[in-house]
Amino acid sequence: MTHTPTSITAIPDLNGRFDLYGAVHKGLRKAGCELLVRLGSTDFDQSEDTEEVLALLRTYLTLAASHVCHEDEHIHAALAARGASTDTVDHQHDDHREAFGQLEALARAVETAWPMHRRATGRKLYLAFAAYLAEDLAHMHEEETVTARALWNRFTDDELSAIEMRIVSSLSPETNMAFMRIMIPAMNPLERADMLGAMQKLAPPEIFDAVIEFAVRPALDTKAFGDLAGRLKRAA
């Protein structure tokens, strides 16, 4: 997988445009970086620690694979329909899928390794995930600087919002909740309030309440949750 670095001066400003990538990419970056640290600090000689970190890895891989499919089916297809090439990010997604399989194979290797080999196998998994994450960070950067421009040149904000809604509507409630758990703590206070404020107005009350109790409240500390509650109350 290869990427052409984008200079800082070439990073586009949003200028009020709809940000199709921002929230989910923030969530994936935060989850990936935290998982990398956890893999690096895990004592693979301890069964309980190993089971916990491998469960976190598999949850992350499930969400990452789901995200790649969403972009292929809803974003890349929409761009192709309006004459834009997505060859670069398509190839990167193929590399991602290959990496997901390799990481799962390494996770299984950790589980089945002889005790004397478990620490070395865990190190291989850590290094492989670090390499994957480095590529994914570069890939998300390309999407938010290059692919985003292609979207803004071809779609209105209402059309981009509709693409996002099609993605969200395609997810199971469980998957939606899992994405919310990684996105909410990665967003800044205004972004959180804007997303959840829109949900509060549009979603059935029982759905909104479930998101707050099972995704938002556990993910935020007391201060951040209080700030969010105040913003939502003022916006209601």
Instruction: Give the pLDDT confidence of 15-42 residue by residue, as tens digits.
Output: 899 999 999 999 999 999 999 999 999 9
Q: Residue-wise over 116-149: b if at least 16 C-beta within 10 A, else e?
A: eebeebbeebbebbeebbebbbbbbbbbbebbbe
Domain extent, residue 212, equals 188-236
* pLDDT value for 112: 97
Each residue of 57-66: pLDDT tens digit? 999 999 999 9
Tokens of 86: 């997505």
Tokens of 36: 């990398």
- Indicate which CATH number applies to the domain containing 159: 1.20.120.520
Q: Specify if 181 maps to a domain.
A: no
* Residue 54 and residue 156 in one domain: yes
Of 138, 178, 198, 185, give the one whose Cα is nearest residue 18: 198
* Residue 160 and residue 192 in one domain: no
Q: Specify if 165 maps to a domain.
A: yes
The domain boundary, picked from 118, 138, 171, lies at 171
* Residue 103 and residue 215 in one domain: no
* pLDDT value for 176: 94
Distance of CA 19 to the CA centre of its chain: 14
Nearest-angstrom CA–CA distance, 233 and 236: 5
Q: Specify if 182 maps to a domain.
A: no
The number of folded domains in the chain is: 2
pLDDT above 80 (res 162)? yes
Q: Specify if 158 maps to a domain.
A: yes
Percent of the chain at pLDDT exceeding 70: 96
Of 217, 193, 182, give the one whose Cα is nearest residue 30: 182
The domain boundary, picked from 119, 140, 171, lies at 171
